[in-house]
Amino acid sequence: MRRESQGYASIEAYWQNSEIRDTFWQITFPKFIEPLTPVFLDPSFAGASLLSSYIAAPTDLESTFTKTPECFGRLRSDAYELDAIFGQITDERSPCPLERCAKSFLDARQATRWLDAFAKAEPVLYRDLQRRRSASDGKSFTPRPPRTYSVNLKF
């Protein structure tokens, strides 16, 4: 009976962690990087860099963003008002402010780690749940980091 109840708990945790991870990558992160799209050639990279920098040193971020934005990726143009864009991504009234996105990112990272550990510990059950999930969604979702660059994401 104990093994069976552990199985149910694992299945429930699988669905919860999948939801946390998917919500971040499919909804939260795209909303966060939306204001970065006109400024950076690769807004996903810029967004990941901003989140990493915020998590590492939140107080230095505004100065770095406005004075040396190229630290976060290649710029489309220098014609953008970086103070206004930084204000937009940190404004609590925006669809996804930096602070809330950083917390969601950490939650998604923790969920991904749990899912990775679960996949290693219960590979057959994990594959079965992935198949069920794919069938219910009509698609399979595999999160991918923005692109492979040298971004030091700190957790």
pLDDT digits (tens, 9 = 90+) for 119-146: 999 999 999 999 998 887 645 555 444 4
Average pLDDT on 44-70 reads 92
Question: Domain coordinates of the chain in residue numbers?
Answer: 11-137
pLDDT over 70 at 42, yes or no: yes
Q: How confident is the model at residue 6 (pLDDT cuts 50, 70, 90)?
A: low
Both tokens assigned to 123: 């590979």
Q: 81 and 70 in contact (C-beta within 8 Å)?
A: no
Say how far apart CA 140 and CA 131 lie, in whole Å: 8
Share of the chain above pLDDT 70, in %: 82
pLDDT over 70 at 153, yes or no: no
Contacts of 41 (CB under 8 A, 6+ apart): 73, 74, 75, 76
| Phi, psi dihedrals of residue 135, rounded to the nearest 5° | -65, -40
- Which pTM was predicted? 0.78
